[in-house]
């Protein structure tokens, strides 16, 4: 049998207070004794009362809605966003906010439309091809925003949540060096793409920290999608005696596995790899990697992984702090990546 939604009068009667007191508790306005507040909150829970967010917005001049703009929704894999959105939604719901999704269309005067509509209290921007003019506009008018991903914009230090690629790739490369490896290839860096440059910096810092020469000839630059250049570069470094590779994404992993499969190379006997599992490997990738990996000694390929859910949570926290005008906020929040490695069985 369908339950009729409770109203504020029923909550007030159950708590033994006035409707005005219930309203003050809901909107966190005015002075209410702690004991009375707890009685009202208990009554709200027992009555299954859900305050009308529109009415609350009219009273507080807020909508209690967070906007999320996805700039690459038609071009990138869905798992680039879903876990982040789940993280944002978790934090938003904890603080009494809902989320509203927007899909960006190129050339649209986007920032003005979503801001002037009055639909949202703040916005999170995500995607590779974010329009920097949107960020400039939001900064100029002082509208709360957060960008997921590092952005270098002239004369502007935007509010961002970034993955600490530099620290993760330094840690992974240092692990390989500490394991006795000296010739370590790095594939592949997209010039002008900040995350890849941070990964490269981490790789280089591990060599510097160990007092070793970082051979620039062992670095593979990759400027393109869907070509065979990466495979050819892996082959070139292999011919130069490189047997260990740090791979910056699943695309480079597939090229390396293809090379290993064609040349009947075993992992880690003939080839050692450390991969950045940025796309959550699908079953075909997992099976191919397993077929080339010797697990007899308990070996597991070292992997760097991102926690997208955590990224979304941190973006939600930073945005809500901005909406509430909290003091002493950092403009950049760094989120660590996981480095996973299982040592061989003794």
Q: What is the pLDDT of residue 345?
A: 43
Compute the radius of gyration of the chain from its Cα atoms: 26
Strands 145-148 and 122-126: parallel
Q: How far apart are CA 206 and CA 167, in angstroms?
A: 10
Average pLDDT over every residue of 79-87: 85
197: pLDDT strictly greater than 60: yes
Q: What is the pLDDT of residue 194?
A: 79
CB burial readout 78-95, b (16+ within 10 A) else e: eebbebbbebbbebbeee
Structure token digits, residue 164: 């600490």
Q: What is the pLDDT of residue 58?
A: 47
* Residue 245 burial class via C-beta count within 10 angstroms: exposed 0-12, middle 13-18, buried 19 and up: buried
Q: Rounded to an integer, what is the distance from CA 259 to the centroid of its chain? A: 31
Q: What is the pLDDT of residue 1?
A: 43
Average pLDDT over every residue of 5-29: 79
Residue-wise pLDDT tens digits, 106-127: 666 666 677 776 788 999 998 8
29: pLDDT strictly greater than 70: no
Structure token digits, residue 50: 């859900």
Residue-wise pLDDT tens digits, 259-304: 999 999 998 889 999 999 877 777 788 888 888 887 666 678 899 9
Q: What is the pLDDT of residue 4?
A: 59
Average pLDDT over every residue of 188-199: 81
Most confident of 11-20, 164-173, 229-238: 164-173
Structure token digits, residue 267: 């992992």
Question: Is pLDDT larger for residue 56 or for residue 306?
Answer: 306
Contact 328, 99 (CB under 8 A): no
77: pLDDT strictly greater than 60: no
Residue-wise pLDDT tens digits, 38-48: 888 888 888 87
76: pLDDT strictly greater than 80: no
Q: What is the pLDDT of residue 20?
A: 80
Place of tokens 């597991």: 300
Average pLDDT over every residue of 100-105: 78
Q: What percent of the chain has pLDDT over 70?
A: 83
Q: What is the pLDDT of residue 342?
A: 59
Average pLDDT, the chain: 82
Q: What is the pLDDT of residue 38?
A: 87
Average pLDDT over every residue of 177-195: 86
Task: Read off the pLDDT band of 78 (50, 70, 90).
Answer: low
Average pLDDT over every residue of 188-197: 79
Task: Read off the pLDDT band of 26 (50, 70, 90).
Answer: confident
């Amino acid at each position: 049998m369908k339950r009729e939604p409770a109203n504020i009068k029923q909550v007030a009667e159950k708590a033994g207070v006035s409707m005005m007191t219930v309203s003050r508790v809901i909107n966190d306005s005015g002075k209410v004794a702690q004991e009375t507040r707890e009685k009202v909150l208990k009554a709200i829970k027992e009555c299954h009362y859900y305050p009308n967010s529109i009415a609350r917005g009219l009273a507080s001049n807020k909508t209690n809605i967070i906007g999320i703009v996805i700039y690459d929704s038609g071009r990138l894999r869905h798992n680039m966003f879903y876990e982040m959105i789940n993280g944002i939604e978790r934090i938003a719901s904890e603080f009494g906010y809902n989320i509203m999704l927007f899909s960006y269309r190129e050339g649209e005067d986007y920032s003005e439309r979503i801001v002037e509509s009055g639909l949202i209290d703040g916005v999170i921007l995500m995607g590779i091809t974010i329009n920097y003019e949107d960020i400039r506009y939001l900064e100029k008018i002082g509208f709360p925003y957060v960008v997921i991903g590092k952005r270098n914009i002239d004369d502007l230090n935007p509010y961002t949540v970034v993955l600490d690629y530099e620290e993760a790739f330094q840690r992974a490369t240092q692990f390989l060096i500490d394991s006795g490896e000296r010739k370590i290839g790095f594939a592949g860096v997209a010039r002008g793409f900040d995350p890849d440059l941070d990964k490269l910096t981490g790789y280089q810092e591990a060599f510097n920290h160990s007092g070793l020469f970082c051979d620039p000839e062992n670095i593979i630059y990759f400027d393109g999608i869907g070509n065979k250049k990466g495979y050819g570069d892996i082959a070139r470094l292999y011919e130069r005696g490189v047997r260990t590779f740090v791979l910056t994404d699943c695309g480079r992993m597939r090229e390396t596995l293809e090379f290993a499969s064609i040349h009947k190379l075993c992992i880690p006997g003939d080839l050692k790899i450390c991969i950045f599992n940025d796309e959550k490997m699908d079953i075909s990738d997992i099976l191919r990697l397993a077929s080339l990996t010797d697990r007899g000694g308990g070996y597991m390929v070292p992997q760097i992984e991102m926690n997208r859910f955590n990224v979304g949570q941190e973006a939600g926290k930073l945005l809500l702090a901005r909406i509430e005008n909290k003091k002493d906020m950092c403009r950049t929040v760094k989120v660590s990546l996981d480095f996973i490695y299982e040592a061989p069985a003794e």
